Structure 1
Amino acid sequence: MVRGVLRMCALTGAFALSLAALLLTSGCGPGLGADVDPDQVDAVSAPSRGACRVLDAHDVRLTTNATRTVSCSKRHTAETYAVGELPAALDHAAYDSEEVALAGYRACNDAFAEHLGADESVVMRTVLTWRWFRPSEKAWKKGARWYRCDLLAGTTAAGHDLPALPRRTEGLLHSSKPADRWMVCGRGPSVSTSRKVPCSRPHDWRAATTIKVGEPGEAYPGDREIEVKTHEYCRTSISAWLNYAVDFQFGYTWFHKDEWEAGNRRSVCWARTEK
């Protein structure tokens, strides 16, 4: 017997964290703690690609960051995988405008998959994620329009450190079967209530596949249509993933209008499995 399980959950992967932070406008300042590099605080020139840092949960909630860089051979929790300039059309945009936030999101989202060597389905099912940073407001007023994309190895609960990254991350998911330590699973009775963990740890659910629920350029069809389509497609997809099992449980994560307008056209399908 096929048993569907609750629809929505909090993913730890790239799409959820980054889009949740997309329109974040509070707490813009980098602070002046011991790990802050004064030269980076109001820098007009763009930061360096490939730099590593030890960021924490507080840092990734801010819109700008000036944490000192460290050698990537040492423990670090963030790596700058892309740096660039925002579109010229935003030269006169407000610092905290939605247009600026969306441009930074799209640039980092596109570069994320390319950096990891993964397709859209894999990057939606990985514990790896990213955060983008912009110049300080002072630097913005001086004409700075750069963006910085930092790779993270997952989210964390308050009071806990972010997970460490390996020395090299380029091409990390370039495989037909990426390592379980980088893929997202859930521990708990249902998808929606499960604690998200790397699949290398004991788990009850695996984000096994994704399914396409729309095409680029299509208008958002509404929550109900997306949920119904996700349910049906995921039931078929997970059945196939489980070698066409007759008795199985599945769950799904579907996204709403904001994510659709940011470019997402996929839902995530979960299988009840300890493998």
Structure 2
Amino acid sequence: MLRDSRLRPLPLRAVALVLAAALLAGCGDGDSEAKADPSDTVAAPANGVCRVLTPEDVAETSNASPVVACAEPHTAQTFAVGDLPESFADAEQDDRRLGAFAYRACSKAFTEFLEADQSTVMRTVLSWAWFRPSEKAWDKGARWYRCDLIGGGEQSASYVDLPEDAAGMLEGKPDDQWMACVAGPSVPNAPRIPCSEKHDWRAVTTIKVGDADDPYPGDRKVEVTTRDYCSRSVSAWLQYPVSYDFAYTWFREAEWEAGNRRSVCWAKTAR
């Protein structure tokens, strides 16, 4: 037997009741949304979207900055979103293990997203930041993480705008505007600037100073290994000059525990 599936008009009294219910629901929802903090949202954020983030935003553990069209100026693009492992089901929102997990997850996704090797991503002015649910969302059961590509690093006073789609932007030989250099007499603690700007030092190679499962060998061992390798590596990069200047940046136990195993070699190449 065929049924008539066409819509039929509601009786006038039914229409009035529906409209009244809708108005009441709308008022209630509006008040609730006005009071709700978007950072307390339990649902995982969208991947691939863009935002205008500042160093102050990145300093926070949670973020709910408005999404902007990637065709508009933006300083961040989300490149990975996922659920945290079951091991964090009963963890606190500030559990220290979260940092080590995020380092592994975001570092891997960062390298893949930019289509670069580990040495290149260690020598770029680009970086990544990760965010977790707010304390309220965490208490409600939210267990996700978000990795954002950032147009700058830890020492940046502000971030530069990214391309409309940053995927693959370090593939092949990256443009100098995305590679790390330093202007000034020394490298340690100096702000990184794009190599497209006037500079005195360029990050040219990296050295892997240990494997993933290795215990931390100690500050002295890491520094000496880095120094000796960088001396040879920079000489080769400069095509074995009679004299040359080199520098190196290396990371201590906290970064090792987070998952970093590479130091960076710098050549003095005034431009």
Q: TM-score, normalised by structure 1?
A: 0.82
The structure 2 residue matched to 1:47, chosen from 45, 66, 71, is: 45
How far apart are 1:193 and its partner, in Å? Answer: 5.6
CA distance in structure 1 between the aligned counterparts of 2:154 and 2:257, rounded to whole angstroms: 27
How far apart are 1:263 and its partner, in Å? Answer: 2.0
Give RMSD over aligned pairs.
1.9
AA aligned to 1:140 is W
SS of 2:116's partner is: coil
SS of 2:225's partner is: helix
Q: Deviations over 1:49-97 (max 9, x none)?
A: 0111111121111000111101000001111111000111110001101
Correspondence 1:191 to 2:187: yes
Q: Deviations over 1:20-42 (max 9, x none)?
A: xxxxxxxxxxxxxxxx9957321
Correspondence 1:208 to 2:199: no
State the structure with bigger RCO (CA 8 A, min sep 6), 1 or 2.
1
CA distance in structure 1 between the aligned counterparts of 2:234 and 2:126, rounded to whole angstroms: 23
Q: Report percent identity of matched pairs.
A: 55
CA distance in structure 2 between the aligned counterparts of 1:123 and 1:68, rounded to whole angstroms: 27
1:122 alignment counterpart: 120
How far apart are 1:157 and its partner, in Å? Answer: 6.8
Structure 1 residues 37 and 146: alpha-carbon distance in aligned structure 2, compared to 1, 3 A threshold:
farther
Q: Deviations over 1:152-209 (max 9, x none)?
A: 1104778x5421111011111111x211100000000111264421000000000000
The structure 2 residue matched to 1:165, chosen from 145, 162, 165, is: 162
**Matches for 1:150-161 after TM superposition, within 5 Å:** 150-155=148-153, 161=158
Q: TM-score, normalised by structure 2?
A: 0.83
Correspondence 1:265 to 2:268: no
SS of 2:192's partner is: strand
- Give the length in aligned residue pairs: 238
CA distance in structure 1 between the aligned counterparts of 2:211 and 2:201, rounded to whole angstroms: 28
**Matches for 1:11-22 after TM superposition, within 5 Å:** none
Correspondence 1:65 to 2:54: no
Correspondence 1:182 to 2:178: yes
Structure 1 residues 211 and 101: alpha-carbon distance in aligned structure 2, compared to 1, 3 A threshold:
closer
AA aligned to 1:90 is F
How far apart are 1:145 and its partner, in Å? Answer: 0.3
Structure 1 residues 212 and 157: alpha-carbon distance in aligned structure 2, compared to 1, 3 A threshold:
closer
**Matches for 1:24-103 after TM superposition, within 5 Å:** 40-103=38-101
CA contact (8 A) 2:204 2:267 kept: yes
CA distance in structure 1 between the aligned counterparts of 2:207 and 2:131, rounded to whole angstroms: 30
CA distance in structure 1 between the aligned counterparts of 2:191 and 2:138, rounded to whole angstroms: 39
CA distance in structure 2 between the aligned counterparts of 1:119 and 1:156, rounded to whole angstroms: 21
Structure 1's consecutive aligned runs of 4 or more residues displaced over 3 angstroms after TM superposition are 36-40, 155-158
Structure 1 residues 194 and 258: alpha-carbon distance in aligned structure 2, compared to 1, 3 A threshold:
closer
AA aligned to 1:109 is S
Larger Rg belongs to: 2
CA contact (8 A) 2:182 2:191 kept: yes
Q: Unmatched 5+ residue regions in structure 2? A: 1-33
